[in-house]
Chains A and B, each alone.
Chain A
Amino acid sequence: MTEIVLTIDGKEVKARAGMTVLQAAQQEGIYIPTLCHHEKLEAFGGCRLCMVEVEARGWTSYVVSCVYPVAKDIVVRTRSEKVDKIRKVLVEELMAHAPDSPELIRMAEEYGADRDRFERSASFCIVCGLCVRYCNEVKQKNAVGFIDNGARREISFIPEVARKECWDCQECFAICPTSYAQAAYLLTEALAFPGQRKEAVKVKKAPKPKRVIPIMPAPVTT
């Protein structure tokens, strides 16, 4: 096992080869904000909130720590004027969608983001993809997926799969930072297979379907 020594926020940190900067920081208890990151899922690098400043061989660059591999002697700064500015603007952009997301509110306080800086958008999904990736990687059901691209990208439950798989799972509701996953599911259910949840229970003699959880997302692993 190769041990790599790097510096994070002035502290000498030991990490294993192949680890990411985020993992190395977390194991030392150094906080880096994340949104699309989940320990059970492959790194996505989509929300960009975990961006840090890295100095290597005299070059300073900005990298996403959830993907960037640790390397010998690099100097990582988890906060700087520029890093904070990036996070501030990103949070402001996301708050145009979900101004009441507890996670975003917390980050907005930390980085001085103005929740009203950008015009409000109709959808409160921030397209972090946690639900999509959780369903794919952990549950391997693919009941929810991304559709369309660019600014039109959204998540969508696939009715044919969702009616079979979701009634006794719904684990994505809890990891969604904005409760949009739950809303999208309920809409799909109401439109495509209303009332069929009960039927499925009867047939399979399975335990009671999960109750819809109150809209209060649990914090994502930090």
Chain B
Amino acid sequence: MPKLQSAAELEKFRAELLAKRDPAKPCIAVCAGAACDGMDSAAVAAAFLAEAATQKLDGKLEIRTTGCHGYCEKGPNVVVTPGDICYFEVQPTDVPEIIAATLKGEVVERLVYKDPATGAKAVHMSEVPFYKHQTRLLIGDNPKIDPMRIDDYFAVGGYAGLVKALTTMTPEQVLAEVKKANLRGRGGGGFPAGSKWETTRNAPEKTKYVIVNGHEGESAAFMDRAMLTGNPHKILEGLIIGAYAIGAQKGFMYTRHDMPLLEKHVRQALAQATEYGLLGENILGSGFNFECELHFDVGIFVSGESSALMRSIEGNAPEPRPKYIRTSVNGIWDKPSNLNNVETWANVPQIISKGAEWFTSIGSEKSKGTKLISLSGNVVNSGIVEVPMGTPLRTLVFDIGGGVRDGKTLKAIHFGGAMGGSIPADLIDAPLDFDGMSKLGAPIGAGGLLLMDEDTDMIEVARYLMDFLVNESCGKCVPCREGMQQMLQILTRLTEGQGRKGDLELLEDLIEVTGVASLCALGKTSGDPLKSMFRYFKPEYESRIVSSAGGSDNK
């Protein structure tokens, strides 16, 4: 493939590509997302390919291995187009039947969704309860794309945002559009991305960097991985547009070292984008130069903290440094560096191609667009969900999630992993909103939603999360290294029924000091889950003290 020299060449190439594709030709998309892969979707995909080869179906049927579809609970997932027919829990033995039905334009009834209560069947994606309450702007393309093929991304309109930005907009206009869209960072803080971009853009240094933070380490969060593995070009396109707006010449994709499929897909995406002239010099004849490098962590959670991440890219140990000067001004090698999360970058192409006005029409008053949520815990339907900001938690938990597993009662909803918080079930009608959820004490964080049923021991939850952080801290500063260790010891004592009088006061002191004195956000927010539990579940904690201090015989 020769380089695309201009926007017109890209659009011509896209038109030719689409002309060659027959929308009526059936396509079977096999999910190879992390959960389906764990249920051996590879064997299912292999069976499809083998069967298609045996029957010589080359011209009549397409088999595609794709990224995560979302409904992890019912994997391996298979989606047949046209019609978006969803098959669940597909086994290699089901393959001949699916192929036969697909060729005849029929449906394999026994593999479609069946409502557990009524037995009613749902054949198409738009009817399956898990999907029908969602707005899948970001993850919706996943079943249509083989992440190893840039052509598939072009076919769904990929790189149109980049074309628009480079050919019809100045960098200032791109920046203004993102600011107008009020895109807020999806990594946890909810900081306006446009303002951050502007700071880096206005920093005096000429050399600037843009970075994708793909270091997803929050417990119970797995949507960035699904996006980056399933549709790497979408994130890359956002990054290139951002670099153009900011005036950066180089970008980094920083991610975890332990996801081989992700690495393979991102490497391929970078290579193909370079081959097509979307990375490199004079991109699409615009005069804009940009290159991008893939970089891996060394395996601890704190690597995802912005200053630690930048130290890591420099080749140093991932230790945060005090940020009295922001990394957007003084980042990698002391150059202005703009860091955004995977999902934030993924939102950029659609904001440019469809406009800020369209984007702000979705979502709540102060949180715009959609949000990817990883749904897990004691929920019927675990998976990756995308809903407009402002959606009530009830919709997420019951309509999409199908409620609590095994007919149990909901006790608490936990958001934001080890640095998030838990709220009781009676706050289920709260809307999904950055500020609203923070006020309740369960900030959305990166978007990991964990459901906890009536049997959940809240002290054990806090202990578990603290144990995670103790192991993921870098250990540089005293309050984080020592404070969390002390909190863990006390919590362990409480779970073992050895709570002492004064333990809760001690915990409160530790939460306060660790929160204000720690160097980075990991330590500063380490006490947040506990804080939320003291707010809503304190009697449960108090009962541990009384029972163990008062009468040791009940243990």
A46 / chain B contacts, CB cutoff of 8 Å: 476-478, 519
Is A102 interfacial (CB 8 A cutoff)? no
Q: Which B residues between 491 and 532 are near A, CB-CB below 8 angstroms?
A: 506, 509-510, 512-513, 516-519
A149-B300, A149-B474, A150-B474 are contacts. A90–B479 as well, Cβ < 8 Å?
A: yes
CA distance A82 to B509 in the complex (A): 11
B476 / chain A contacts, CB cutoff of 8 Å: 44, 46, 129, 153
Whether A51 contacts B517 by the Cβ 8 Å rule is yes
Whether B481 contacts A150 by the Cβ 8 Å rule is yes
Is A124 interfacial (CB 8 A cutoff)? no
Residue of B481, B486, B512, B517 near A153 (CB, 8 A) is B481
Whether A47 contacts B478 by the Cβ 8 Å rule is yes
Interface string of B468-485 (1 = CB under 8 A from A): 001111111111011111
Write the chain A residue with the least CB distance to B502: A117
A51 / chain B contacts, CB cutoff of 8 Å: 517
Is A76 interfacial (CB 8 A cutoff)? no
Is A86 interfacial (CB 8 A cutoff)? yes
Whether A48 contacts B300 by the Cβ 8 Å rule is no
How many chain A residues sit at the interface, stated as a range, is 20 to 34
B481 / chain A contacts, CB cutoff of 8 Å: 127, 150-151, 153
Interface string of A71-106 (1 = CB under 8 A from B): 000000000001001100110011010000000000
Residue of A44, A90, A146, A151 near B470 (CB, 8 A) is A151
Is A143 interfacial (CB 8 A cutoff)? no
Write the chain B residue with the least CB distance to A61: B516
Write the chain A residue with the least CB distance to B506: A117
CA distance A129 to B481 in the complex (A): 13
A150 / chain B contacts, CB cutoff of 8 Å: 300, 470-475, 481, 484
A15 to B: closest C-beta gap in Å: 15
Whether B321 contacts A45 by the Cβ 8 Å rule is yes
Is A186 interfacial (CB 8 A cutoff)? no
B432 to A: closest C-beta gap in Å: 30
A104 to B: closest C-beta gap in Å: 12
Residue of B471, B473, B513 near A85 (CB, 8 A) is B513
CA distance A64 to B475 in the complex (A): 17
Write the chain B residue with the least CB distance to A129: B476
Write the chain A residue with the least CB distance to B300: A149
Whether A127 contacts B475 by the Cβ 8 Å rule is yes
Q: Which A residues between 97 and 124 are near B, CB-CB below 8 angstroms?
A: 117-119
Write the chain A residue with the least CB distance to B479: A48
Whether B513 contacts A90 by the Cβ 8 Å rule is yes
Residue of A45, A47, A96 near B322 (CB, 8 A) is A45
Q: Which B residues between 74 and 131 are near A, CB-CB below 8 angstroms?
A: none
A69 / chain B contacts, CB cutoff of 8 Å: 324-325
Is B173 interfacial (CB 8 A cutoff)? no
Instruction: Tell me whether chain B's interface is mostly helix, strand or loop, or mixed.
Output: helix
Is B489 interfacial (CB 8 A cutoff)? yes
Q: Which A residues between 142 and 163 are near B, CB-CB below 8 angstroms?
A: 146, 148-153
Whether A89 contacts B513 by the Cβ 8 Å rule is yes
CA distance A117 to B471 in the complex (A): 23
Residue of B477, B485, B489, B516 near A86 (CB, 8 A) is B516
Whether A93 contacts B479 by the Cβ 8 Å rule is yes
Whether B324 contacts A68 by the Cβ 8 Å rule is yes
A67-B322, A67-B324 are contacts. A93–B483 as well, Cβ < 8 Å?
A: yes
B108 to A: closest C-beta gap in Å: 51
Whether B322 contacts A64 by the Cβ 8 Å rule is yes
A117 / chain B contacts, CB cutoff of 8 Å: 506
Is A32 interfacial (CB 8 A cutoff)? no
CA distance A48 to B517 in the complex (A): 6
Is A62 interfacial (CB 8 A cutoff)? yes
B71 to A: closest C-beta gap in Å: 36
Q: Which B residues between 51 and 89 are near A, CB-CB below 8 angstroms?
A: none
Is A63 interfacial (CB 8 A cutoff)? yes
Write the chain B residue with the least CB distance to A128: B478
Write the chain A residue with the least CB distance to B475: A153
A42 to B: closest C-beta gap in Å: 10
CA distance A151 to B489 in the complex (A): 12
CA distance A151 to B477 in the complex (A): 10
Most chain B CB within a 10 A radius of its CB, from A64, A148, A149, A153: A149
CA distance A148 to B299 in the complex (A): 11
CA distance A46 to B520 in the complex (A): 11
Whether B510 contacts A89 by the Cβ 8 Å rule is yes
A48-B517, A64-B322 are contacts. A149–B475 as well, Cβ < 8 Å?
A: yes
CA distance A94 to B479 in the complex (A): 10
CA distance A217 to B489 in the complex (A): 30
Whether A96 contacts B482 by the Cβ 8 Å rule is yes
B472 / chain A contacts, CB cutoff of 8 Å: 149-150
Residue positions of A touching B, CB distance < 8 A: 44-49, 51, 62-64, 67-69, 82, 85-86, 89-90, 93-94, 96, 117-119, 126-127, 129, 146, 148-153
User: Mind listing 20 A-B residue pairs with CB under 8 Å?
Assistant: A45-B321, A46-B476, A46-B477, A68-B324, A69-B324, A85-B509, A86-B517, A89-B509, A90-B478, A90-B482, A90-B513, A94-B482, A117-B506, A127-B481, A146-B475, A149-B302, A149-B474, A151-B471, A151-B475, A151-B482
Residue positions of B touching A, CB distance < 8 A: 300, 302, 317, 321-322, 324-325, 470-479, 481-486, 489, 506, 509-510, 512-513, 516-519
